[in-house]
Structure 1
Amino acid sequence: MKNSIEGSFIPVFGIARRDPGFIYIVEDQNRFKIGKTKDARERMKAAKTWLPDMKIHGHKPFWNISHIERCLHVGFSIGWYAGEWFSFEDSNDRDLLLEGFAEFSDNDKDKNSINFIYWFNNNGMTEFIMEQNEQHLSLPKFLKQESWNRKSKG
């Protein structure tokens, strides 16, 4: 893509082109791992050694993968299970993750990085970021709190 040089900016929203890589989603026993990697092929190959029966839902290229991964973990905190794993009691939450993720391009970091902002904001996940910041909680504490709140209401 023209001008997609690391260190430059995407004109829309002034998104910095840094921290390039892939966001991936794998599934095992109805649990979903949302992770990041610099090398998607090697990561999926390695993951097959410790989860041979996993289903790979995909890996999509983005800029700022550390930030995007963190946003996804906070945005889907209601389904947090452990570490980077999520389990959704509500199929709407699972569908939001999987269907939304499938819509991202397989090869355009610029497009995905812009569309992520629209998708994340339009699906109410920004409120979770705001809540975490307002409570001054670390990501692990926020994930535990939100998943506990879900379980206690169920």
Structure 2
Amino acid sequence: MRSKNISLEIIKQLEDLLSAMDESQYTQPLTVFNGGSLGQHIRHTVEFFQCFIGGLKNGIIDYDARKRDMKIENDIAYTLDCLGNISAQILEISDAQKLMLIATYYDEVIPEMVVSNVQRELVYLIEHSIHHFALVRIGVQENFPEVSLPYSFGVAYSTIKYRESVSA
């Protein structure tokens, strides 16, 4: 299942970034984020994966029920452990077509339940992560030019393919 492998690549990109940073960079409030930090964007991304993993167990994914774990936001080693656990769970996925329910709230208190499947949610997590990585890229480039990012970090796969076709 390609989406499973790409999800693992996305997590690896995040692990590589975290390994290249120190905690002062990770937690520093950044003007470009209106006082938010890289850690906050990364926490948000990690917790979406955690909600997905939780949903694999009970059949319902609720992305709004994130724990907002400040330790992910402030502790790189802890975040790397979380990412390792997520990767291990993704590796165990065997049924890409397993049906899942996605809880969506919008204005309601009682969620609307939307039918999805494991593979579709992995695709969503890939795109959601890339979107946040693009924001993280801005934060890193504007504040920590000593932290090297690969060309593809925060760039959609379709954009990379398009750029390659134009330059060929």
TM range (shorter): under 0.3
Larger Rg: 2
Output the TM-score relative to the length of structure 1: 0.27
Q: Which structure dedicates a bigger proportion of its chain to strand?
A: 1
Output the TM-score relative to the length of structure 2: 0.26
